[in-house]
């Protein structure tokens, strides 16, 4: 996959797309692989914000074959689809804006995807997270957020998108929750936490 990524023209692509050209994959990708490898490969997986398809590629690599995702940028989705087709003979990215109607999703993945256009308060941001979960009603929701322990000024991450464990426990009161730090400031540019939110009867 890295070889494929190294062959892309990055001049018109956002800066974050280059993370998958490094010799080491990003930590969230490695952590995601550890978590996903515990689940049955027959599970269907949907990713919100698929970018260039590198998380979907990981899912194929792990042996999942009911895999799809949505990406609102037509340019990124088109490049991602071509990449997934050349590597796995599969074009799993829908061009569009989540939420869309979904059925029978076992695992919903939303990582490295902090978007808050038209939102300006933590309450709104948290209810968007809950709405995204409810729309798919998955067995497992793998959600990465900016952690509230990150206090430095950042234009990209205003205070209201910095989420604490307490916030997540409050919006998902009835569900099981565990979490892992993925990025940590100052080693990384922010601190991020990956939550595994699951239904109680699993």
Ligand X SMILES: C[S@@+](CC[C@H](N)C(=O)[O-])C[C@H]1O[C@@H](n2cnc3c(N)ncnc32)[C@H](O)[C@@H]1O
Q: Which of 43, 46, 88, 98 lies at the binding interface for ligand X (CB under 6 A)?
A: 98
Give yes or no for a contact between 62 and 33, defined as CB atoms under 8 angstroms apart.
yes
What lies within 8 Å, CB to CB, of 179 at 6+ separation is 165, 168, 193, 194, 195, 196
Q: Does 129 bind ligand X (CB under 6 A)?
A: no
Q: Which residue is nearest to ligand X (CB)?
A: 49
Q: Give the interface segment with ligand X, choosing from 81-89, 110-118, 168-176, 179-187 (CB under 6 A).
A: 110-118
| DSSP category for residue 195 | E
10 binds ligand X (CB under 6 A): no
DSSP character at residue 84: H
Query: What's the CA gap between 95 and 136, in Å, rounded?
Result: 17
What is the closest distance, in whole angstroms, from the C-beta atom of residue 79 to ligand X in the complex? 11
Q: What is the closest distance, in whole angstroms, from the C-beta atom of residue 112 to ligand X in the complex?
A: 4
Distance CA 110, CA 50 (A): 9
- Taking the complex as a whole, the smallest distance from the CB of residue 71 to ligand X amounts, in Å, to 5
Cα separation of 164 and 26, whole Å? 22
Residue from 97, 134, 159, 170 that binds ligand X (CB under 6 A)? 97
**Kind of pairing, strands 44-48 and 66-71?**
parallel
> Which of 115, 180 has the CB closer to ligand X?
115
Contact letters for ligand X, residues 130-169 (x by CB under 6 A) = ----------------------------------------
Residue 112 makes contact with ligand X by CB under 6 A: yes
The size of the interface with ligand X (CB under 6 A), counted in residues, is 18
* No. of helices (H) and no. of strands (E), the chain: 6, 8
Nearer of residues 53 and 197 to ligand X, judged by Cβ: 53
State the nearest-atom distance from the C-beta of 61 to ligand X, in Å: 14
Quote the DSSP letter at residue 117.
T
- Please, which residues have CB within 8 angstroms of residue 74's CB and are 6 or more apart in sequence? 95
Q: Does 92 engage in binding with ligand X (CB under 6 A)?
A: no
Q: What does the binding site for ligand X look like in residue numbers (CB under 6 A)?
A: 16, 48-51, 54-55, 70-73, 76, 97-98, 111-113, 115
């Amino acid at each position: 996959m890295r070889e494929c990524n190294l062959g892309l023209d990055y001049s018109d692509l956002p800066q974050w797309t280059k993370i998958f050209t490094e010799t080491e994959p990003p930590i969230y990708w490695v952590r995601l692989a550890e978590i996903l490898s515990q689940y049955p490969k027959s599970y269907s997986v949907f990713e919100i914000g698929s970018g260039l398809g590198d998380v979907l590629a990981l899912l194929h690599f792990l042996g999942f074959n009911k895999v799809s995702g949505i990406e609102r940028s037509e340019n990124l989705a088109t490049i991602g689809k071509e990449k997934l087709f050349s590597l796995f003979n599969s074009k799993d990215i829908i061009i569009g804006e989540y939420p869309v109607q979904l059925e029978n999703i076992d695992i919903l993945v939303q990582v490295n995807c902090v978007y808050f256009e038209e939102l300006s308060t933590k309450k709104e941001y948290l209810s968007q997270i809950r709405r995204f979960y409810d729309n798919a009603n998955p067995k497992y929701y793998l959600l990465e957020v900016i952690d509230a322990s990150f206090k430095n000024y950042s234009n990209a991450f205003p205070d209201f998108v910095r989420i604490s464990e307490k916030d997540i426990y409050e919006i998902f009161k009835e569900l099981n929750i565990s979490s892992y730090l993925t990025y940590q400031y100052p080693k990384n540019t922010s601190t991020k936490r990956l939550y595994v939110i699951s239904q109680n009867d699993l």
